[in-house]
Amino acid sequence: MKFAVIATSGSQHRVEEGTEILVDRLENKEGDKISFDAILYVDDEAVHIGTPTVNGTSVKATVIGHERGDKIRVATFKAKSRQRRVKGFRHDYTRLKIDKITS
């Protein structure tokens, strides 16, 4: 089982070839091919641990589409002043299909 740990948008994701992942929204269009060069860990025949990244490796992915997460409602309340406020938030995601891990 070949997998890697990539860093994108300030977070780390464990990926395998052929799987789909959700990452923070990227400014790429559907169908675009992208490459991640910030690879922190690769496990194939041998284990490669980056300091901080593994040199000579990359992960190729295809943008499947853009999605929005579930709505999160945040409420504020102050006692004795009738002050109430409810705000909503939906996070934007990009769905990626991992095509190839090269090491």
Q: Where are the domains of the chain?
A: 3-102
Helix, strand, coil shares of the chain, percent, nearest 5, are 0, 65, 35
Name the residue type at position 65: G
> Measured between alpha carbons, how far is 10 from 65 in angstroms, rounded to an integer?
20
pLDDT at 103: 80
pLDDT at 72: 98
> Measured between alpha carbons, how far is 75 from 103 in angstroms, rounded to an integer?
48
pLDDT tens readout for residues 8-60 = 989 999 999 999 999 999 999 999 999 999 999 999 888 889 889 999 999 99
- Side-chain-facing half-sphere of 10: CA atoms under 13 Å: 2
> Measured between alpha carbons, how far is 68 from 32 in angstroms, rounded to an integer?
19
